[in-house]
Amino acid sequence: MKSFDAIVIGGGQAGPFLAARMVEKGMKVALIERKFLGGTCVNAGCMPTKTLVASARAAYVARNSAVYGVNIPGEIAIDMKVVRARAETVTMNARNGLIGWFAGMDGMTVIYGHARFDDPKTVSVNGETLTAPRIFLNVGARPVIPDLPGINDIDYLTSTSIIHLDTLPRHLAVIGGSYIGLEFAQMYRRFGAEVSVIEHGPKLASREDEDISDAIADVLRSEGIDIHTGVSDIAFARSSDGITVATDSARIDASHVLIATGRKPNTDDLGLDAAGVITDKHGYITVDDTLATNVEGIWALGDCNGHGAFTHTSYNDFEIAAANLLDGADRKLSSRILAYALYIDPPLGRVGMTEKQARASGRKIMISTRPMSRVGRANERGETKGFMKVIADAETKKILGAAILGIEGDEVIHGIIDAMNAGTTYPALQWSVPIHPTVSELIPTVLGDLKPV
């Protein structure tokens, strides 16, 4: 049996950085990863997909360049092998950077293999037994594959496998109208594929307010994406030239099918029962406000604890654990204000409550909206789709939430994120003097238009 001061299972966006901090403190740490360092973000999420998004935007801008007085003769061609290679390079650079970083750390032992608990202080991997008083789980999540008629008879894609495509689909059917599915839908439409989105619910991006969901659908339809919502029945069958996707309202002749119906935690094969670690009905590990599980000495970080399925929330889990365990702080998970983005183009930046949540809270609220068509930067760029919305508490004057669907919305939202985390009231932010011409300069204007509802 090999003994360590700590064992980290999973090499995503929380565990490796926590391991590095512990090594800096002179601890002996084992980092166990069953596949690739970097987790979903580096290998199958943010980095490769946003690289693909950038290639898709380049194609879109080139096709529409004449609007700006730039004439490009001939058809805009897409070399999918180059597109894929570029994304793969970004991934490999990040992954190899982590490998090199850890290789230079005394006290860090990186082990590739599948770890399972033997008891609360012991895990087995590759036939070896390791023990430590502290064990941290950062095992991430994977795509959910629904049990739909005919699904096992076709070669479907997931968000992990689609990034390795080096040919252009003739017609991509996307099953699922949430964030991952929508990003790939627009991306492949811009590459030149026909695209259909099939969503069981009544609207796309169901977490969002109805006006945001409607605006997202308008953006995608404007680029020729076929959207089907409220679909109750879906079945698949092989056809002579691809895959037939049959729903209760349509029949789609697809060449490729992307299953984007959500993700589930990688907790079902860790031997959690042997350690006594409790999970909820969906498999997420139950944690307290400090990310500790019900078993002393075991913590769960990142996607597997169900408190955020984003790189930045996973990294924040590391920050909370490191501050509390190594720096004597008292940071809490409940203090986090959730923010995220949808990386269609234009992007959606979101923070805090939706309007629906704010209304349901019983607070007296104020709301302000402004179309991007009234934003100078958007008009200068010729990108006026979308709108801004801010929700505030009428009594405390605190901002409760915001949505910015529009050009640079994923960047502009940070002004509001910072204000909410600092506890700044909207009147104070309203008197800032922003730079012109920017999208962010409209934040004080939107705040000035807040009206009671």
Q: Catalogue the active-site residues.
A: 436
Which token pair is 221?
């339809």
For residue 180, count other CB atoms closer than 10 A to its CB. Answer: 24
Under DSSP, the state recorded for 280 is: -
> DSSP of 166-189, one letter per residue?
-S--SEEEEE--SHHHHHHHHHHH
Number of residues written out for the chain: 453
Closest CA to 195 of 213, 219, 221: 221
Dist. CA 240–CA 287, nearest whole Å = 50
Which residues are within 8 A (CB) of 288 and not within 5 positions of it... i.e. 6 or more apart? Answer: 333
Residues 254/246, Cβ–Cβ less than 8 Å: no
Dist. CA 64–CA 188, nearest whole Å = 16
Which residues are within 8 A (CB) of 130 and not within 5 positions of it... i.e. 6 or more apart? Answer: 1, 2, 3, 4, 7, 30, 32, 111, 115, 122, 123, 124
Catalogue the long-range contacts made by 208-212 (C-beta closer than 8 Å, 24 or more residues apart): 208/348, 208/350, 208/354, 208/403, 209/354, 209/355, 209/356, 209/389, 209/403, 210/356, 211/369, 211/387, 211/389, 212/348, 212/354, 212/389, 212/403, 212/405
Dist. CA 436–CA 431, nearest whole Å = 15
As beta bridge partners, residue 31 has 8, 110
Query: How far is C-alpha 9 from the geometric centre of its chain's CA atoms?
Result: 21
Dist. CA 111–CA 130, nearest whole Å = 11
User: Strand, helix or coil at 39?
Assistant: helix
For residue 63, count other CB atoms closer than 10 A to its CB. Answer: 14
List Cα–Cα distances, 277 to 12, 18, 250, 332, in angstroms. 20, 21, 45, 21
Strand order in the sheet with 251-254: 234-239, 242-247, 251-254
